[in-house]
Every structure is written in C-alpha cells, then in structure tokens.
Structure 1
C-alpha cells in the first residue's frame, strides 16, 4: 500500500509501500478513496510546522471502512467515512462546553500525530514506525485511524468531496458560523483565497453578508472568490491593502476580517482593516519563531476582538455531516472548489502547483471504484 511520507524537512516527499499494523480495540481500518492536499501538509514538509517525522502526510480524507476494532460501534465494514483532523473525548471541559477542537485529551495526540493507545499504526519498507499526520495520515491507499476520527457519511457523496469537507470546508465555514458568527448585512474581508479562504467567502455569502471583500495577490484566486460570492476584489499588489479595504467600507473598516494566509504581516494588516468594533479571526498558521506587533493603545481605545479559530472551532461529528447535507442540497459549492486531481505518485507535483498558486483545492484520487 502506497503512502506519501516526509522523511526529511525540506526534501521531496517520498511515495513508499507501507504496512499497517493490527487494529487496536478503538481503531478503524479505512481503504482510502480520496485525500486533500492542505497548506498545513506542505508546512510539515517545509518545517514551518515542526512536527515529528517520518510522517505520512494528509489530514483530509474519505474512504470505505474495511475493519473495526472490538470497541468501535458507530461504523461497520462497508460504511463510507470522512476523517476528522482532530480527536475529541467528549468528556473534558472543552468538549462539554462545545469546543471539541480544544479537547484536553485529543490535542496532544493530534500534534504528536500518534495514536492515543499505542505505537505507530504504519511501518515503512525498512520496518520503521511512521507517524500519521493528525493521527490519520490520509495520503495513503489504506490507513488505520482512531475510531473517533471516522465520521459516517452518505454513500452517494463522492470521496473527493467528503475529503475536502474534512478540513478546508469545515475550517472556512466554521470560522464564519462558529467563531465570528457573521451577521446578515455585515461586511466581511477575506484575506487569502485558497481552499480555506474560498470557504470563508461562501460561508459569508450563506450568512447573508452584504459586502464580501476578497483579498489575494493571485488573479485566478480572486476570480474564484468572485464565483464563490465575493462582491469586491482587492489585489494587494495594486497599492496599500489596508487603504483599499477601508475605501470599500467608507473608511469604517470591515465588521469581520478572516485571514487564512499564515503571515504575521497579514495579521497586522487584518487588524487595521477591521472597524473599531470589528472581529479579526486568524486561521493561517505562521512559522512558530515569528510574532506580530500590535499597538496596545490601539487595543485599549477600541473594542476589536482578535481571535483564532483552530479547525474552524468546529464540532466535527456534527458539522461534517451538516456541511455534506448543504452540499447535497446545492447550498455549498464543493465540486467547483476542486480544481486539480492527482495520483499519489504526483504528490511533489501537487505541492509545486500549490506553491505556484495553480490550484484552489487539490485532491489525490486513490481507490475510487464503486463511487460516483
């Protein structure tokens, strides 16, 4: 079974034959149908996310359950599932308060990319244990994952659609619905219009925002943003980006600014784009060695809110099925989001295309038989 593995930071990803281990009581074996490529995956390869390696990349995925552990009851062999990129226990204070992405039990395992109850669930041809990104490692033909990362989905949903809902869609929509709580008639500036940002755009459209300002230096991404619901397009290369956004909001600033770039400079710009009582949501993950600088007086003399929205502040077991129903009813554009598809052997080409801005959302097609 092939898998995309990072062995060395800054080096090309290797596609190797892996073996999966026997299932633990809480595990699920999934034959993968599709896996998305996310900027976070690339950040592991470049070292911007200093996670342990060697690692099977990928945290967006969907496939067919082949086998379940003794304690798994919510899915059975033959079910189609999407993967959640976060684990949650359902019992800690964060889960009980409705913020399972902050789960005190699950977050350490996710960041270590190691199964909660034992060693690595995959080995390479040399017998070395392999971490699986976010405990799932979806860019592989078959994976063993923790049971609570497997979310049952309707069988008529294409695997590639379910895969991208597992992170890009959930993060973007969650930032709008769960964290920012965008109100009808409001103004939203979306900074960065990649896979996550485009879902922020369409989330703002669904929420009823009257003005949706899409900010991105890549012309094709601005064009995509217009198709997903942006009312105004801003090119940062055409002049001071903050002044451009302020001009579009009559000098007031946006009610909400949601960024998905992962740049401290952009976070500072997002702060300045927001109105005096605006909300700024940071989704992009920059290099951990850098920090942003904000005026403390500017904080004290305003009522701005600066917040993160890890994984869109999602409730995965609830949100992923809900967003898939929105897709099935025609409310969400997901087919249009997927602009490039690849075989697993083309993983490095897919990464190069992402760097070049040639794709909105890239998906690896794995075992696609039997699915429309």
Structure 2
C-alpha cells in the first residue's frame, strides 16, 4: 500500500531545519505484514530527542530512514501468527521489540533484547524484513522498528502493547517513550522509595515524566534542574519541591545544600556529558547516579574510582526505563486514568506531518516539551 512518511535522506543537515528540510514527506510503498507482524494506522507520534539525535548525526543510523518511534494507533490488519490483536484494537508502539528467547529476555529484561537491538541497529523489523521502499524500489530503513512519522506502519507484534481505547491516542503515544523511559528510570532502575531525595537534570518529556515518577513513588524531595524557567515552572506544578537553574555556576552546591550533602538519586536526561558529570556531583555518599541520556557514541565519562569505592557510590544506565512494556504500560495508563499521572501535561501541542521540520527546530531550541504529530482518521 502507498503511505506518506517523513524520510531522512542524510544526517547532519544545518539548522534551522525549516530551511534545510532534512525530513521530506515521501510517498512510499509499504509491504504487507508478515508472520508476527501488524499493520497499524498511526494516529499520533511524538517528537523526541532520540529522533533529533539521528537527524543531527549524533546517533548514526543507516540512511535513508523513515523516522519516528514514539507513537500510538489502531490495528488495521494482522499477519499470520498474531492471535491476540484484531483490527480496531488501540495499541502503543515500543521502540525495542523483544524476542522473548534471548538471555536478557529470559532474565525479564526485554529492554536489552539482543535480536531487537541488532534489528534496530540495521534498520529492519525484528524479523529482518524491510518493508519500505521508494518508487524506484530502493529500500528505506525502519527507525527502531516503528517508523511512526507516517500514516501507516507495519511493526512486529512484539513492538506493540494493547491499551484501553478510552485514552486519547495523542496522549497514549507519550507512554511509548517519554513515560516508559522517565517513569521507568525512577520506578524500575532506581526503585525510589517513599521519603528519599531525587534530583532530575533535563526537563524534556522524559525528565518531566521522571518528576511524575518521583511524585508517584513518594519521594520527599524532588529537585528539578534545567536551563528553561518555563520548564522548571512546569516541574513545580507537577510536584517538584525545588528547582535549580542549570546555568548557575553554583548549581551543584545549591542541590547539595538543599539535600544536606547530596541526593539519594540523581537522574540525567539531558544527553550531554557535562550534565552527567554534574549529576554525579549532586549525589550523596552511598547514592546512585542514573543516566538515560544518549550523548554521541564517543563521549566518555571520567569517574574518581576512590570516590566510587570509598563512598559506595553507584553509576547506572537506564534504557527504556528498565521496562517490561506489557507490564508497565498498562500500569502507567491506569495511573493516568486515575488522575495520579498527568501525562497530558507533557504535551505542548500537536502539529501536522507537513510541519515536522519546524517542530524539530522548536525541540532543538528547547521551547517545547513534547510536540505530537497527529494524523486524520
């Protein structure tokens, strides 16, 4: 079938993207769903820094590629072997498919699925299939098994979680990346307990979802750190007990003073090395620093090993919030429905697919939290 999709032809285009137009809306041929695959009509797809990092080249991917990885939609057709989804079901897409059989999956860590990571790296679906092509029959790669900046997508059944159809799909989309990553880092990776102290650096969609996760976990202190006064104000509205401007020369000292020596947990979501270095310095003796930011592959962190040992500090990575999507997404959606997880506050607004380059300019500038591309019925 013919679809319209936002295709990145090459990385590293100059800014502003409204002028250079790195993403072009192209008509592509989308193949039929194969075994264990599903055709989904995309309703909404969020603009995320993970997309931006492919556009600017800091996260290299095979080109050309149809971008988009945080999305929700409606099942149109199922391939052979899919027995638990039917046309009309509402689904959230997850950008790491899990095979269920490799060692990480067997250990209950599907976010680290080895075949899923390999498929994402080569720009294919989990099966190895590449179902997008141009009129000249040249292949277009899939982005993280999803390629959601399009009106339709074929994805692995293992990239989908069925959800209650009463939740608006433009809100549901945010659960596939921002909420899973931010909330999950707090709840799963750190396992924050009631009464503990938390600092969150980087208040995009993921960072603000972490603030919501800290509130839901009962953290006594939640300190939000960013350069944007607007985002810090939103963090306070969402439950942060204090904010610190990342541009302040004494930002680390401010956090350590507020927490009487450092936070129990410091979370870094900015995706730049100086932010992670600051997060480490904001954590107390015996505390844990967690990063879900993705700087360029060559970035390397220097850690004082004596401090690591003598202070029993911990440094951990968190990918997709150490999530089990089929467990976590329904739980988080239920909290939203109960009014205890106001995910809708993370959405700055909606845009049509035709404005996607301008949307990424706004994301790069830091003037938005989450813009969502929406598609007509």
State the match for 1:27 in structure 2.
37
State the TM-score, normalized to the length of structure 1: 0.96
Corresponding residue number in structure 2 for 1:348: 357
Q: Who is 1:287 aligned against?
A: 296
Q: Deviations over 1:148-187 (max 9, x none)?
A: 1121111111111111100000101100110000011111
| Distance in 2 of aligned mates of 1:362 and 1:112 | 27
* 2:338 is aligned with 1:336: no
The answer to whether the Cα contact below 8 Å between 2:40 and 2:154 also exists between their aligned partners in 1 is yes
SS in 1 for 2:177: helix
Q: Which runs of no fewer than 5 residues in structure 1 stay unpaired?
A: none
Q: Which residue does the alignment assign to 2:370?
A: 361
- Partner SS state of residue 201, structure 1: helix
Moved over 3 A (4+): none
Q: 1:270 aligns with which of 252, 260, 279?
A: 279
What's the offset of the Cα at 1:96? 2.2
| Contact 1:112–1:134 (CA under 8 A) maintained in structure 2 | no
In 1, distance between residues paired with 2:349 and 2:58? 24
Map of 1:314-333 to 2, 5 A cutoff?
314-333=323-342
Kindly indicate whether the alpha-carbon contact (under 8 Å) linking 2:35 and 2:80 is maintained by their aligned counterparts in 1: yes
**SS in structure 1 opposite 2:165?**
coil
TM-score (normalizing by structure 2): 0.95
Q: Distance in 1 between matches of 2:55 and 2:201?
A: 24
Q: Does 1:147 align with 2:157?
A: yes
- 1:260 aligns to what? 269
Structure 2 match to 1:49? 59
Quick one: distance in 2 between partners of 1:117 and 1:215? Answer: 41
Match of 2:239 in 1: 229
Return 5+ residue gaps in structure 2 as ranges: 14-21
Question: Over the residues paired in the alignment, what is the CA RMSD in angstroms?
Answer: 1.1
For the 8 Å contact 1:27–1:144, the answer to whether it is kept is: yes
Q: Is the 8 A contact 1:213 1:233 kept in 2?
A: yes
Task: Tell me the secondary structure at the aligned position of residue 130 of structure 2.
Answer: coil
The answer as to 2:12 corresponding to 1:10 is: yes
Q: How does 1:1-372 map to 2 (within 5 A)?
A: 1-11=3-13, 12-250=22-260, 252-367=261-376, 369=377
Q: Is the 8 A contact 2:97 2:126 kept in 1?
A: no
Aligned length: 367
C-alpha displacement at 1:265, in angstroms? 1.4
